Amino acid sequence: MSLVQKTRLESGIAVITEEMPDVESSSIGIWVNTGSRYETRGVNGVSHFIEHLLFKGTEKRTALDISREIESVGGVLNAFTGREYTCFYAKILNKDLPKAIDLLSDIFINSRFDRNEMDRERLVVLQEIKMVEDTPDDLIHDLFAERFWEGHPLGWSILGPSKNIKTLDRASVLKYFKDQYAAHNVFITAAGGLSHSKVTRLLKPAFGKIKKSAAPSQLMTPVAEPGVKLIKKDLEQVHMCLGVPVPPQSHPDKYKLYLMNTILGGGMSSRLFQEIREKRGLAYSVYTYLNLCKDAGALVCYAGTTRDKFAEVSGLVLKEFERLAKDMTPLELKNAKEQLKGGMLLGLETSDSRMMKLARDEIYFGRAVSVKEIVGEIDKVTLAEMKRSAAELLSPERITMTAIGKVSSRHLPSQLKAMA
């Protein structure tokens, strides 16, 4: 019998659990299918603002009560907002699961959105925005997404612009909350030393009768925009992101993308790390990552370097993109497969990582995807398939680059000057 079980409450909210009999902790998350891509320009940032506000007090608990209650049992209560979903979660010892569910239920359903608390938390979020703006190796990823998916909400900042946070009023926040935090948009995942029946029983009183809202939001698929955007700023380094559009998370080719990312920039043995940092000493930090969404995706390389080395570094990234389709070896692919499988298995040893995997599976596939299935799909990828995908996806005309620092078009490599 599978240790993953799924039940729908009377409200339609799905409860998905995975029993891990040998662990001492349980993790539970309430997930909302909303994030910055579901916002309008005028309220961009409201999803993240709501994430903060749900910890600022309910009808029976103050913000301090909420913190004390979870910390009194050594647990963790937290949340995060993405472009496509928001999560509120707790990790506790198995015996304290009822307390965690009571706390999560209370903040999710009974938050007061007190005006004074909103004004105080508004200042906190504004400081968070300033912190990102003062951290160019963080900021560059938002700037790249904005250029890559130009004009589309998927490219907007999760935090939103300061002017929105300053002007968001209680009525606007409550309207968004009512529309998005409704039964049709919510599901719950839990993993650890727990039982499915107990989790479902504990959740029913609070979540069994949550009302549905209007029809779910309709997504508009973004189109990636090739080109180069250079942003002048007085910095010691030039920070750059260079990427290409790739298929979305649910696409059958995702395992090829995972392997491609691993080979190019997924660790200290990767091509880009070895070529740019180890062999030439041109950058301290260089890596690639995948941003795979429901209907679109990007494979992105980040590097930070000096202005006089910027052209060389970006040229080397382009060279490695081009080379991948030509000279990838069987051993390189084999090593990438083992690295990918090993990293996944090691990463799934904790209750919180299992809880989050259940959620990603539900969001992108509508079902639990077993580790055995993932390993099998990774092993099935052939060298010929990898080379075909690399040749198709990593071609120069599909490139988008964003860079910030004391840089201009004359510092670009020749391959990118025409795109600036």
Q: Annotated catalytic sites, by residue?
A: 51
Nearest to 364 by CA among 290, 258, 291, 293: 293
The packing angle between helices 170-180 and 115-133, to 10°, is 80
Nearest to 297 by CA among 261, 339, 342: 261
Give CA separation, 52 vs 162, 207, 349, in Å.
15, 21, 29
Nearest to 185 by CA among 28, 359, 13: 13
The tokens describing 15, both together, are 């409860």
Distance, in Å, from the CA atom of 275 to the CA atom of 253, rounded to the nearest integer, reads: 27
CA angle 132, 135, 139 (to 5 degrees): 60
Residue with tokens 């990007």: 298
User: Collapsing DSSP states into helix, strand and coil, what is residue 53?
Assistant: helix
Distance, in Å, from the CA atom of 391 to the CA atom of 275, rounded to the nearest integer, reads: 20
Answer for the pair 314, 412: CB distance below 8 angstroms, yes or no.
yes
Nearest to 243 by CA among 320, 300, 315, 303: 300
DSSP 8-state class, residue 58: B
Residue with tokens 């092993």: 379
- Please report how many Cα atoms fall inside a 13 Å half-sphere around the Cα of residue 158, on the Cβ side: 19
Answer for the pair 294, 250: CB distance below 8 angstroms, yes or no.
yes
Q: Are strands 227-232 and 400-405 parallel, antiparallel or unpaired?
A: parallel
DSSP 8-state class, residue 303: E
